[in-house]
Chains A and B, each alone.
Chain A
Amino acid sequence: MKAMQSVRTGLRFGLIFGMALIFTVLVGFFNAFAEASLAGLSVPRWILVVVGLWCGYMAGRRAGGHGMGELARARRGLTPALTAGAVGGLTAGVLLAAFTAIIARYNLREAFENIVPATVEILTLGAGVPAGLVWHLVGGALLGSGGALLWTAGREVRPPAGWQAVAKAGAVLALALYATLGSISALLVALSTRVAVVGTLAQLPVLRSVHPDDLYRVLRLTVTAAGAGGIVGVVLLLVSPQAAQRLARRVPAERLTALSFLLMATFFPLTLGSYWNQVLTTIGIFVMMGLGLNVVVGFAGLLDLGYVAFFAIGAYTYAFLNSPKYGLSVNFWLALPIAMATAALAGILLGVPVLRMRGDYLAIVTLGFGEIIRLILNNQVELTGGPQGILEIRPPQVFSLLINSPVEFYYMILVGAVLVAFVTARLNDSRIGRAWIAMREDEDVARAMGINTVNYKLLAFAVGASFAGIAGMIFAARQRSIFPADFGLLVSIEALSLIIIGGMGSIPGVIAGAVVLKGLPELLRALQEYRLLLYGALLVIMMLIRPEGLWPSRRRAREIHEVMDESQVSVSSLPSASPAANTPREPGATP
């Protein structure tokens, strides 16, 4: 009975992973990266190995009693996990072998353009049809078993108590070190064009090795530093537990991480070059927009799907005031308060009719508002130039310096984003912030507390809109020309997504979300046309693993974990004779 269950679990996971593999082949991923290799193994082989292990891991986990109490798991032993893993790997192997046999025998190119003779070659690992197919079966079963063993081993190995805190402290310290060294290096290189001596200093091996000239490298070094620091921390814990614990307590992890990233954001772009700076300015514009939308959605709880409207209003206000087409030529800094005020006013105009709306209804009306603004921009040809847009918008000027290059824009946006982040943080901690929280939690009770919900709602709309207005203005100044097509629904959706990915209501979360949402597609460019496929998959995985967001606010993290705690409580309080029910640590266990 138990054995049948394990086999069924294995079959199910094997089918899923096998189909996923075949899909990956069909979209041409294997062909495209047949030549690329990582650590001596070609990318397709890596995929086969990883998928095989993963399949076994997942099947073994399910059959091995994941989510059950320790006792129940111990009673089950190793066999079910191993059976399920092996069956899973074998099933995936059978599927892949059958698929390979079919494409080797029949010509499917008419239907699937990515199936070419080389595909068979790659899939059979160069061994030809009958021999390669055996590889799939044997390899599948072995990798599947290996995955199941990995899961079992992971369960059995008990890292020393408190290792997470120590690893975190180590990682944070290493990150801070890297951020400091990299900043010094970047600063020296930037200065070396003026002062020759500094140039030689920048060539010191220590500094050269951390020189931030490429975002891939920065990313690699960041991950390496944090990983190495974490390992050092754990080693220290093994050597001297007291010192390690003290370290973990002393290091203000959250603040130091924020500081390190701020340092990196301040100095690294000096030497990152135009391309990456262009990417960073886009991220910066979205950070500002995200911070503004976060006020409306995250703080006040008003779901706004037409947020792009305010971005567009900021951009067009500046264009009207500045472009020679209208003959006003107002400079950027004078136009800034005007654009903010216009956007804020638009926010209030949207706010008044939707005062009584909540949830879904509010979302639909705001969605319509965003579209109306775009359509007006598109159709009022005499006023806005219609689809031809507005051209010749001038960039801002600071004293005699014309802000023109991506690096200069980056720094202007950095200053703007820091200011916006500061203002939203202050708002959140103020009386106004508390009124928003009360309103978000329960509007009726908020009114009973004496909170003037009308004013605070309109204030949230106005503040959010004015931040989007600034972002729109900077966008217009950077692009030099704007078109209604720049302000589609997708912008609103992206702004909302980055808040959700980062962590609703959290300011560092918004920044992290913008970096991931707008930065990741650029970093994934090496994957060519498959980048969006992987990007989508990563977003889905991220939301599955961290539903509260990358860097959630304390309150939100508490809420999400509270839901889990509640499910634990309900499990542990269930009357049951099984000992599994008495271990409340694991959520989702049903006796």
Chain B
Amino acid sequence: MPVLELKNVHTYYGHIHALKGVSMHVEEGEIVTLIGSNGAGKTTTLRTISGLLKPRVGEVWFEGRRIDHLPPHHITAMGIAHCPEGRQIFARLTVQENLEMGAFLRADRNGVQEDLERVLTLFPRLRERLKQPGGTLSGGEQQMLAIGRALMSRPRILLLDEPSMGLAPILVQQIFRIIREINRQGTTILLVEQNARLALAVAGRGYVLETGRIRLEGPAKALMESHEVRAAYLGG
């Protein structure tokens, strides 16, 4: 049974038909990537999974339960952490406060402390900046904070939206190394990226989204070699 499954999901923004029947699934322990150009519906897919948008048609299933009618806080509580696009951190709260906010739904103090330690080990830069307001961090550090904060809820699956956006190449490399490390420690990851080459390099499987529909799917290696993907997303 897949951890996460979307069945023929249609999502609208008012009259705009953003997702036109998306079906996909993520298995336990995988890194699955969702690639596609601007406006293809990648972010919309993530927002639909985490309950910020409701699909008009179709179903979203998580660990054998249907979740598309649930409010976002229930979905988060079930173990889906959404790390939104554009490094949306609490700019005026300190790094530590940001991380603690990520564990908002948890009552096990010891476990939270453990996870804080784990996140700070993954991102040593954050440890140096614990008492500093999030808004004063650099772009890369803010992205690390956003990912770290999502991990603080000890999620079953982590939804990452464009973690490479606006970062210097060297930082992108670093972030992707950490993503792989998070996955190795046992967290399932659904990764949305515009940078198809990098995404396919870390992912096991991938989906290609185009104007609201899944255009291609398959193992990352196969996609990387496919003629269509190379032409459209990898620059030949």
Which residues in A have some Cβ–Cβ distance to B below 8 Å?
431, 434-435, 437-438, 441-442, 444-452, 454, 555, 558-559, 562
Choose among B77, B84, B133 the residue that contacts A445 (Cβ–Cβ < 8 A): B84
In the complex formed, the residue of B with least CB distance to A556 is B92
Contact A441 B93 (CB under 8 A): yes
Contact A451 B88 (CB under 8 A): no
Choose among A442, A448, A558 the residue that contacts B52 (Cβ–Cβ < 8 A): A448
Distance between A557 CB and nearest chain B CB, rounded to angstroms: 12
Give the chain B neighbours of A454 by CB distance below 8 A. 71
Evaluate whether A448 and B76 lie within 8 angstroms (CB atoms) in the complex, with A431-B104, A558-B133, A562-B133 already known: yes
Please indicate which of the listed interface residues A431, A434, A441, A558 has the most CB atoms of chain B within 10 Å of its own CB.
A441
Contact B72 A448 (CB under 8 A): yes
Contact A447 B133 (CB under 8 A): no
Contact B73 A451 (CB under 8 A): yes
Contact A555 B104 (CB under 8 A): no
Contact A441 B92 (CB under 8 A): yes
Could you list 11 A-B pairs, sorted by A, with CB under 8 Å?
A: A435-B104, A444-B52, A444-B84, A445-B84, A445-B88, A445-B89, A446-B101, A447-B72, A448-B84, A450-B77, A452-B73
Measured in the bound complex, the distance between the Cα atoms of B83 and A454 in whole Å is 21
Choose among B71, B91, B92, B101 the residue that contacts A449 (Cβ–Cβ < 8 A): B101
Measured in the bound complex, the distance between the Cα atoms of B135 and A441 in whole Å is 12
Beyond A444-B84, A445-B90, 6 additional contacts (C-beta under 8 Å) are: A434-B100, A437-B97, A445-B84, A450-B72, A555-B92, A559-B133
Give the chain A neighbours of B97 by CB distance below 8 A. 437
Contact A438 B133 (CB under 8 A): no
Give the chain B neighbours of A555 by CB distance below 8 A. 92-93
Contact A452 B71 (CB under 8 A): yes
Measured in the bound complex, the distance between the Cα atoms of B101 and A444 in whole Å is 13
Interface residue B38 (Cβ < 8 Å from any Cβ of A): no
In the complex formed, the residue of A with least CB distance to B82 is A448
Contact B104 A451 (CB under 8 A): yes
Contact B76 A450 (CB under 8 A): yes
Evaluate whether A448 and B88 lie within 8 angstroms (CB atoms) in the complex, with A434-B104, A435-B104, A562-B133 already known: yes
Measured in the bound complex, the distance between the Cα atoms of B136 and A447 in whole Å is 23
Contact A444 B88 (CB under 8 A): yes
Give the chain A neighbours of B72 by CB distance below 8 A. 447-448, 450
Interface residue B48 (Cβ < 8 Å from any Cβ of A): no
Contact A442 B73 (CB under 8 A): no
Classify the interface of chain A: helix, strand, loop or mixed.
helix
Measured in the bound complex, the distance between the Cα atoms of B149 and A442 in whole Å is 15
Contact A450 B105 (CB under 8 A): yes
Interface residues of B in 73-120 (CB under 8 A from A): 73, 75-77, 82-84, 88-93, 97, 100-102, 104-105
Give the chain B neighbours of A451 by CB distance below 8 A. 73, 104
Give the chain B neighbours of A558 by CB distance below 8 A. 133
List 6 tightest A-B contacts by C-beta distance, closest first: A450-B76, A452-B73, A441-B90, A450-B105, A450-B73, A445-B88
Give the chain B neighbours of A434 by CB distance below 8 A. 100-101, 104
Give the chain A neighbours of B90 by CB distance below 8 A. 438, 441-442, 445
Interface residue B50 (Cβ < 8 Å from any Cβ of A): yes
Distance between B97 CB and nearest chain A CB, rounded to angstroms: 8
Interface residue B153 (Cβ < 8 Å from any Cβ of A): yes
In the complex formed, the residue of A with least CB distance to B52 is A447
Distance between A427 CB and nearest chain B CB, rounded to angstroms: 16
Give the chain A neighbours of B77 by CB distance below 8 A. 450
Choose among A441, A450, A562 the residue that contacts B104 (Cβ–Cβ < 8 A): A450
Distance between B116 CB and nearest chain A CB, rounded to angstroms: 15
In the complex formed, the residue of A with least CB distance to B72 is A447
Please indicate which of the listed interface residues A449, A452, A555 has the most CB atoms of chain B within 10 Å of its own CB.
A449
Measured in the bound complex, the distance between the Cα atoms of B133 and A448 in whole Å is 20
Distance between B144 CB and nearest chain A CB, rounded to angstroms: 16
Measured in the bound complex, the distance between the Cα atoms of B41 and A363 in whole Å is 35
Give the chain A neighbours of B50 by CB distance below 8 A. 448
Measured in the bound complex, the distance between the Cα atoms of B89 and A437 in whole Å is 13
Please indicate which of the listed interface residues B88, B102, B104 has the most CB atoms of chain A within 10 Å of its own CB.
B104
Contact B92 A438 (CB under 8 A): no
In the complex formed, the residue of A with least CB distance to B136 is A562
In the complex formed, the residue of A with least CB distance to B78 is A450
Give the chain B neighbours of A452 by CB distance below 8 A. 71, 73
Distance between A282 CB and nearest chain B CB, rounded to angstroms: 35
In the complex formed, the residue of B with least CB distance to A446 is B101
Give the chain A neighbours of B92 by CB distance below 8 A. 441, 555, 559
Choose among B75, B88, B105 the residue that contacts A442 (Cβ–Cβ < 8 A): B88
In the complex formed, the residue of A with least CB distance to B50 is A448
Measured in the bound complex, the distance between the Cα atoms of B72 and A246 in whole Å is 53
In the complex formed, the residue of B with least CB distance to A453 is B73
Give the chain A neighbours of B83 by CB distance below 8 A. 448
In the complex formed, the residue of B with least CB distance to A455 is B73
Interface residues of B in 103-156 (CB under 8 A from A): 104-105, 133, 136, 149, 153
Please indicate which of the listed interface residues A431, A450, A562 has the most CB atoms of chain B within 10 Å of its own CB.
A450
In the complex formed, the residue of A with least CB distance to B89 is A445
Give the chain A neighbours of B73 by CB distance below 8 A. 447, 450-452
Measured in the bound complex, the distance between the Cα atoms of B105 and A451 in whole Å is 8
Please indicate which of the listed interface residues B73, B76, B90, B104 has the most CB atoms of chain A within 10 Å of its own CB.
B73
Choose among A435, A441, A442, A449 the residue that contacts B102 (Cβ–Cβ < 8 A): A449
Please indicate which of the listed interface residues B52, B72, B89, B97 has the most CB atoms of chain A within 10 Å of its own CB.
B72
Contact A441 B71 (CB under 8 A): no
Distance between A430 CB and nearest chain B CB, rounded to angstroms: 12
Give the chain A neighbours of B153 by CB distance below 8 A. 449-450
- A-contact 0/1 string along B46-85, CB 8 Å cutoff: 0000101000000000000000000111011100001110
Measured in the bound complex, the distance between the Cα atoms of B65 and A557 in whole Å is 46
Contact B101 A438 (CB under 8 A): yes
Measured in the bound complex, the distance between the Cα atoms of B93 and A442 in whole Å is 11
Give the chain B neighbours of A438 by CB distance below 8 A. 90, 101, 104
Give the chain A neighbours of B100 by CB distance below 8 A. 434
In the complex formed, the residue of B with least CB distance to A448 is B82
Give the chain B neighbours of A450 by CB distance below 8 A. 72-73, 75-77, 104-105, 153
Give the chain B neighbours of A448 by CB distance below 8 A. 50, 52, 72, 76, 82-84, 88
Distance between B141 CB and nearest chain A CB, rounded to angstroms: 16
Measured in the bound complex, the distance between the Cα atoms of B97 and A446 in whole Å is 13
Give the chain A neighbours of B91 by CB distance below 8 A. 441-442
In the complex formed, the residue of B with least CB distance to A454 is B71
Contact B93 A449 (CB under 8 A): no
